[in-house]
Amino acid sequence: MGHLAAAGALLVALVVLGASSAADVELSGVFQEMVTSECYFIKGTDRVRFVKRFIYNREQYVHFDSDVGLFVGDTPYGEKVARCWNSDPQWMEYRRDAVDRHCRHNYELSTPFLVERRGERGAERVPSGPALGMTL
């Protein structure tokens, strides 16, 4: 099961099994776990850099950079996580393959819709107001 399907199943389970009954109770805290995947392209796919960031409550604690080839801890906890993940050869091979599996694959799929449409009517317009949803 993919990560998205698992997250959807968890959300449905929470709603069905009683998360709605907790609506009357004041929350003791809110915690946010976020993972971002970023692909940087130079001259198409000649040079590709993949960065995956793991963030907890707005603090990046560990990240993977394909140029380094390892996870790097950004906090003391992240250093422990990085040591654990870096010691698993299968996990590291999977992460290193993300450049091809994630970046190059998505680049080839999206190129006709993004890169080749530069200069079309409306493509040069940029919103002038503050960005919505930027909470970091």
Task: Give the pLDDT confidence score for residue 131 in this predicted structure.
Answer: 47
User: Using CB atoms within 10 A of its CB, is residue 111 exposed (0-12), middle (13-18) or buried (19+)?
Assistant: middle
For the segment 75-112, what is each residue's pLDDT rounded down to a tens digit? 999 999 999 999 999 999 999 998 888 888 888 888 77
Q: How does pLDDT run along the chain (136 residues), one tens digit per residue?
A: 455 566 666 555 555 555 555 556 777 888 999 999 999 988 877 899 999 999 999 999 999 999 999 999 999 999 999 999 999 999 999 999 988 888 888 888 887 777 666 665 555 555 554 544 444 3
Task: Give the pLDDT confidence score for residue 132 in this predicted structure.
Answer: 44
Task: Give the pLDDT confidence score for residue 60 in this predicted structure.
Answer: 97
CATH of domain 31-116: 3.10.320.10
Rounded distance between C-alpha atoms, residue 34 and residue 102, angstroms: 18
